[in-house]
Structure 1
Amino acid sequence: MGITLGPNQYGKAETRVVRVNRHGDHHEIKDLNVSVALSGEMTAVHLTGDNAAVLPTDTQKNTVFAFAREHGIASAEAFGLLLARHFVRSQPTVHRARVSVEEYAWDRIPVTGHSFVRRGQEVRTARVAHDGERTHVVSGLRDLTVLNSAGSEFWGFLKDEYTTLPETRDRILATVVNAEWRHTDLGTAWDTSYGTVRGLLLEAFAGTHSLSLQQTLYAMGRRVLEECPSICEVRLSMPNKHHFAVDLEAFGLDNPNEVFHAADRPYGLIEGSVLRDDVPAAEEAWW
């Protein structure tokens, strides 16, 4: 009985590339997850380990970033076409390229030209605790993904022998807002209140020139308390969704803070609460 190599393919999966198009103070964002699969004359690499026909998957990843800089990203379809045609035309051993693209949509926060909220992910939450005498109502939201493509810095931090992070005066600030807020008025119009708080959180995120995510967290909680007298405490948990500028120098390309790798993990996690001085903090059992 004979044994034969069947259909096969290989490639780099889930390259997260973010392209910021800067038109003065007005920015546009394309946020993609790109997967490449190549097939062709790959028998030798499977049977003998001969890599002569293989374009490394790391090269495929670099091509995604370089094309984002050189050609921009007009659409998911157009970018996929550019990549697929390139891999087949440039590599004689590659006969077919399949490029799969997921695009993550962002809506502009009206406060600035460089603040965005991710579309269609957030979940509204509510929790009520009652013991026959006392009642606490905690409203909230989770998975509200937001991004500032300007107006964020990070410098002046502690450094030791293990520190490699460079200081920056211009970075992308992206996070997933998970927030809860405690009410003192049980007669609140809940839907109206939720919309108001969500809007205030977005306005404060967009309107704060941030020197740290901690500063932004406090500004967001403070804005809610300033504008909503019936809310006495806000708790926020905000992961720092790192976006690293891709070094394209090896390909003869500059990168003036336009092409980024959206890292998945590990991430910084910033958590804190903001509360009124005249209202005691609730026992943890009530949250």
Structure 2
Amino acid sequence: MSCFDPAQRWTLPNASPEETRADASQHVLIVRPSDGVVIVEQNGQRRTCMQREAIVLDASTAATFIMHDVGRIDCLLMTRDVRTEMRHIAHDNGGLIALGHYAAAIMRGLLPMNSAALADLAVDYMDGLVTAMIAEADAPSRLNGLPQDRSSISLLALKADIEVGLGQSSLSLEQLASTYGVTTRYFQKLFEAEGRTFSDYLLERRLERAFHMLRDGNRMDRAVSAIAFEVGFGDLSYFNRTFKKRFGATPREIRAQFHTIRTMAIASDASA
């Protein structure tokens, strides 16, 4: 199942004691955002998931999902005989890639599912892909790549931490480098490989998140200044100046344009 424009916060409740006793198998939920960042909290654990990565978790145990700029999230609920703990699945995991393509083909009607036998085979095949996906994620070559090991610190992981801390005006390269136990120069080189600097990327993400929030119909009553501060800007004039340079219009103009388009769309639907 794909969910478009999901709520910023989801809560998954605990299964009832009756459901737990009646079902010895485990309901496993796999979530995979197509964009943005998803943070999942369950049993005191916290996992951050970037676009095209995935999180596997126990669907019968309470969990909280926090979305940042997620336009679509794909969810797969399966029943498995083997129990599993919450874990992060990297974007290049072969099982995850195969599972994504296979599930997409089924959802688009490219594979015939016109009999119970075919449906059962499809479920068994996807269960096998999930097993392979988890086995690859648990392989020693994956598990030994601790964050403190420089060779395993990717720019993708760094960007995930930036997304999580974007609203902190004090967020800095020094702070992130200290968290990972590396030098700021190491992180600077990662961004230089993309032809940009940490400051450029941080400003770009803050502006894009502000743009997204200004166009959010659920935030129309929030002041522009409140949104600026929420995404990490400490200086309103600097926010307005850089926003106009980036999008060619002021924050208020962008909000007004979206409000006009939204009003026209609602009026058109009402008259149809």
TM-score normalised by L of structure 2? 0.25
Greater share of residues in strand: 1
Between structure 1 and structure 2, the one with the greater Rg is 1
Q: Which of structures 1 and 2 has the larger relative contact order (alpha carbons within 8 angstroms, sep 6+)?
A: 1
Greater share of residues in helix: 2
TM-score normalised by L of structure 1? 0.24
